Amino acid sequence: MRCPAKLNLYLRVVGRRADGYHELETVFQTIDLCDELAVRGVSGRVRLRCNSAEAPSDHSNLVVRAASLLRARPEAFVSHGAVLTLSKAIPTGAGLGGGSSDAAAALVLLNRLWELGLTVDSLRWLAAELGSDVPFFLEGGAAIGRGRGEVLEPLPDAPTRWFVLAKPPAGVATPWAYAHYRPVGRNGVGLTDFLAAWQSDEPAAIAAGLRNDLEPGVLAERPDIAALLEALLAAGAVNARMTGSGACVFGVCESEAQARSVAERLKASTDAWVAVARSLGAAECQALAAEGA
């Protein structure tokens, strides 16, 4: 099954919660940059094979934790086991949700393989236990995320949008980014304004509506990420922002042709990982899930 990455087109930190998490108002959008997860049934044990040295193959990988959560369910048997094969294309420490998307795919695939019969609602609970971003990937498309990011309100599919992604060699750990959050610039674009722009056909309007409250705190410590944002704009992107907790940034482009030329310029002028991606609607995400059946 292909596991798509996401961008946070909008991310407002509403406040700090008693449990240490931050209350968010965010807009997720899946894109066509995908990892690939395959499962094969074996008896009694779970093993992960992964093509990336950056992603762990042990219990700290969310895919393995997803499998453990399912095996602990009363519907599961001790004989249930699987070999999971994960091919990573989404960089880690990027804010692109790769690990979360892989975990959501693992829940769906193992629920099928082991014939547990868990409903989407049950999977949502398990997903939220694995991480704040995991529930979003059960449906994909575009959605408003509230709470930790796990309380979702789906948005209707919008026209295809083109982005250029860029990530510096060093990643960002999510807890570090939140620890550096400072409540500055809170008078930015509101969600209503963003949504009005998002529903318009104008890439320039969407570009003007981008917001990420984690960005200033991260940029203060990471001049390499600040430089990439500058480089994206200099290469011709309409606007650029960090996604989630970073370190990946994205530029909004008017068209595929413009995105490809921005990406070429960026590759020539930086040492960053660079990719062109387009938005992936909920219907396309469901098709990816069905493909893996």
- The footprint of ligand C5P (CB under 6 A) covers 21-22, 24, 131-133, 148-149, 174-175, 178
Residue number with CB closer to ligand C5P (180 or 267): 180
Minimum Å distance from CB 135 to ligand C5P? 10
The residue to which tokens 């919008």 are assigned: 158
Minimum Å distance from CB 263 to ligand C5P? 28
- What is the spatial distance between Cα 143 and Cα 151, in angstroms, rounded to a whole number? 10
**Does the active-site annotation cover 133?**
yes
Which DSSP letter does residue 56 get?
A: -
**Spatial CA neighbour of 81 closest among 50, 48, 103:** 48
Token pair of 263, please? 């990406």
Catalytic residue among 88, 133, 167, 213: 133
Residue number with CB closer to ligand C5P (86 or 134): 134
Catalytic residue among 6, 35, 88, 102: 6
Identity of residue 77 = F
Minimum Å distance from CB 14 to ligand C5P? 10
**Does the active-site annotation cover 6?**
yes
Minimum Å distance from CB 130 to ligand C5P? 8
Residue number with CB closer to ligand C5P (148 or 211): 148
Residue with the CB atom nearest ligand C5P in the bound state:
132
In angstroms, the Cα distances linking 32 to 4, 56, 140, 224, 282 are: 6, 23, 11, 26, 12
Token pair of 116, please? 């547990």
The residue to which tokens 């409903």 are assigned: 119
Residue number with CB closer to ligand C5P (21 or 273): 21
Strands 239-242 and 162-167: unpaired
> Known catalytic residues?
6, 133
